[in-house]
Amino acid sequence: MASLPSTYKAVHLANRPKDHIEADTFTVKQHQTPSASSLKDGQVLFQPNYLSLDPATSIVRGWLNDSRSYIPPVKIGAVMRGVGVGTIVATKSSKFNVGEVVYAGSGWSELAVLPEKDVEKLDLPSNGKMTDTLATLGMPGLTAYFGIINVGKVKAGDFVVVSGAAGATGSVVGQIAKLKGAKVLGIAGSDSKCKWLVEELGFDEALNYKAKDFAKQFRASTKQLIDVYFDNVGGEILDLALARAKEHSRFVMCGGISQYNTKNPQGPKNYLMIVSMRIRMEGFVVFDYEKQYPQAKKELARWVAEGKIKRQETIIKGGIEKMPEALRALYEGVNTGKLMVEVKQPVEAGKSKL
């Protein structure tokens, strides 16, 4: 069993971004590796193999900017907030063993000392994998589940439109809607993503919002009008959806990634449609449903095991230093499915002496 290096790296917030994520937004620092003897009772030393990037569930820009939100922003100089799946490399907890693979909020760091209460054991279906905990069986999947079922109240016969449909959350939203008997139109950023949505995930139709005649295509594809709109992007697509909303439609406001990196975010121009069509537009945060996580995870795991929910990952390799680059890539929409960074290959992780 190889020893851990004497130091480890972590990504710290250096400056609050005014507009785009810049090179000086984050800085990488070296830290002394904690010894096993330095752990207190009930603590573990966690080594992430994969770290997650998902703005729809994390509202990452809310963590970066000092503005009112459901969770305080990251302080300047602090390790950037984040969650990952990885390995226990040292423990003073009776609940976790060295070498055990777990889920934890470690931040953007190669190592993290954590209390046992902040660490979760994995509970995967037979065909599951550790990275599912960051995707379909984690916050993106839970966000999709509660958003489309509890907020959107999807039912058989509904016409559902999902923006950001090829992302970790949107792709699950569409598949759940199909399982509930709805017709689903997905909006994504490339022809290949649209093909994946229809041919692999079973969406009824998908449109590339980068097409020159996208607005015309959207109006043609929504002639029957929208019952449920699941919004991950905001901006112009939200305005188009408002114009095609059915009376008493439900708009699930999950995120607005198209607006996170803009100096002057665009609000809806067609907001009067909310009045005339009696639209219910509701925002939500997945943490509101924490008490219902076990049942939701059980149902999501069953759908994955039965092959009813398919998933795809985009993994950026290169270690912890790739986290800022990966965050920029997320806003640019380079990913299909779940985006994550491989901090350390699982085969290299595991039981390490300190």
Question: 274 is in which domain, residue-wise?
Answer: 139-289+298-303
| Total of domains in the chain | 2
3 state SS of 188: strand
Tens digits of residue pLDDT in 296-350 = 999 999 999 999 999 999 999 999 999 999 988 888 888 999 999 999 998 644 4
Residues 165 and 131 in one domain: no
- DSSP codes, 97-115: -TT-EEEE---SBS-EEEE
Tens digits of residue pLDDT in 193-246 = 999 999 999 999 999 999 999 999 999 999 999 999 999 999 899 999 999 999
Residues 333 and 209 in one domain: no
How many angstroms separate the first and last alpha carbons of the chain? Answer: 10
* pLDDT for position 236: 93
Q: Is residue 1 part of a domain?
A: no
**pTM of the shown model:** 0.89
Helix or strand holding residue 150 (H, E): none
Q: Is residue 330 part of a domain?
A: yes
* R_g of the chain, CA atoms, integer Å: 21
Q: Is residue 354 part of a domain?
A: no
Tens digits of residue pLDDT in 10-32 = 999 998 877 677 888 899 999 99
